[in-house]
Amino acid sequence: MKEFQKNDLLSFFCILLLLPALASAKCTCDAEEEGGNRSEALKYKLGAIASILVAGAIGVCIPIIGKTIPSLQPEKPIFFIIKAFAAGVILATGFIHVLPDAFERLTSPCLKENPWANFPFTGFVAMMAAIGTLMNHVNGDEEKVGEHEGHVHVHTHGTHGHSHGSLDTNSAESQLLRHRVISKVLELGIVVHSVIIGISLGASESPATVRPLVAALTFHQFFEGMGLGGCIAQARESQLTTIIMVLFFSLTTPVGIGIGIGISSRYEENSPTALILEGLFDAASAGILIYMALVDLLAADFMNPKMQKNIKLQVGANVSLLFGAGCMSLIAKWA
């Protein structure tokens, strides 16, 4: 099962790396961009690479470093509030940033009316991505259960005591496995969109388009990094795995910008190939992010007994959720 998932991820990223080459096809619609100034736009793009890299790294590292502080441990109430903020950010990313982009691309007049105008591909792909994420979780849980089927649980009643050590261990291991799956699938959903927006920014030749995007995407990556960092902190991965995940998140958008700069002379954002590929990837990314935010982050924490028994914590988590979603939604005005 694990080998199958690794092969799937490897194939997926190979396809993702081919996206820029495939997206450089000729465009059938007129370019909408005006006021092109390549040298001035390049200065903003280089600034964007530096600022987005630093903001993303800081955002994703804050929760990971924070877990070393006793008051910010995953078991503490304050961590529920931080995770609610992060879940709001991720939910808004899926609904406000990624899904509308997918709808816009897959309903573009540059595409043939049949089949693109005759079927809601965006919603369908997002739905299938969410179902696929669910099935991946179920398979992972079944695999973990299978590993423990042969274990014997001893209950000693002679002294009115019960030995539940194996049950407690299995429960803790299952929770840890769940958090690790969540962190990796969530990063996958974020990375897909990050590469696409990076390429789009890097390929733009208009300073008027690039300038506001630099600040917006910097905050975008910072908040998104906080959401992912909270999940990585709970996953308790090895130091090497944590470093790889942090670097992978931090570098994807800057690398996407670099790719966009390299193909800017050939890239046509309104070409049918670019619209279809980016639209489908965005739709799948939106489905993954929305599922993860609602099911794995919000539902799991809001149904937790600690949350259910603490009214103040419930109020704090709800306010934090709305604040996170509101901040990320506001950024959509510029990005």
167-209 pLDDT per residue, tens: 455 677 777 787 888 888 888 888 888 888 888 888 888 787 7
Amino acid identity at 288: I
Question: How high is the pLDDT of residue 236?
Answer: 82
* Per-residue model confidence as pLDDT tens digits over 249-298: 999 999 999 998 888 777 777 888 888 988 998 899 889 889 888 987 88
- Phi, psi (rounded to 5 degrees) for 202: -65, -30
Per-residue pLDDT, 250: 92
72 close to 311: Cβ distance less than 8 angstroms: no
- Residues in contact with 250: Cβ distance below 8 Å, sequence separation at least 6, in sequence order: 53, 56, 57, 60, 225
> Distance between CA atoms of 232 and 254, rounded to whole angstroms?
21
Question: If you write DSSP's letter for every residue of 127-163 in order, what string do you get?
Answer: HHHHHHHHHHHHHHHHHHHHHTTT------TTTT---
Token reading at 304: 């937790």
SS3 category, 268: coil
The first and second tokens of residue 99, run together, are 């899904």
Band of residue 121 on the pLDDT scale cut at 50, 70, 90: very high
Tokens of 30: 């007129």
With tokens 């007049």, the residue in question is 109
Q: Identify whether the C-beta of residue 298 lies closer than 8 Å to the C-beta of residue 227.
A: no
Looking up tokens 């733009």 gives 204
Tokens of 70: 């006793």
* Selection from 282, 207, 214, 156 nearest residue 42 by Cα: 207
Q: Please state at what angle helix 311-331 crosses helix 77-92, rounded to 10 degrees.
A: 30
pLDDT in tens, 273-287: 888 988 998 899 889
Asked whether 67 and 233 are in contact (CB, 8 A), the reply is yes
Asked if 195 contacts 27 with a C-beta cutoff of 8 angstroms, the reply is no
